[in-house]
Structure 1
Amino acid sequence: MAKVKLKLPKLAVSMQSGTIAAWHVNDGESVSEGQKLYDVEGDKTTFEVESPIAGVVTRLRMVGDEIPVGTEVIEIDMLPTSA
């Protein structure tokens, strides 16, 4: 399976880092495209981050972790597509 590594997005021009506020998925859980993965707190607001693909997740960070923008947060093993 191909692994896709998702990084903390820059949600505002001034955003330098964010804090993982909550997880909506568990390690090893299957997710679908568009499913909520986690909440990230920026300077002024909290955003929900959704999965861009279907697959099986591996969380790389814990709730409360403050991480710089562009740092890997989660990996998704893409599900094989049927031909």
Structure 2
Amino acid sequence: MLEPVGTTTRGVSLRAVGGPGMVCIGGVAGDRWTSGHFEPMEAIPTGTLLTTCSGGVAGFMAMRLQRLVEQVGQGSLPL
């Protein structure tokens, strides 16, 4: 699951994925960079991965977003 809001909704996303699965925090739309008290052993379900993705403006501008959308729609996006 791509988590564009960030730390403010991370717990909700982790519970929604359950396990096995992956949550990737790819944004901070919630306008909070830190999360205060976080207990990974309690918050991350067994079999669930938590990671981040950050590429900056140049990487985003070079990404072929429409091609990714088309691949998702066709079910052919390589993972």
| TM-score interval, smaller chain | under 0.3
Q: Which structure has the larger Rg over C-alpha atoms?
A: 2
Q: As a proportion of its length, which structure holds more helix?
A: 2
- Of Structure 1 and Structure 2, which has the larger fraction of its residues in strand? 1
**Normalization by structure 2: what TM-score?**
0.27
Structure 1 length as normaliser, TM-score?
Answer: 0.26
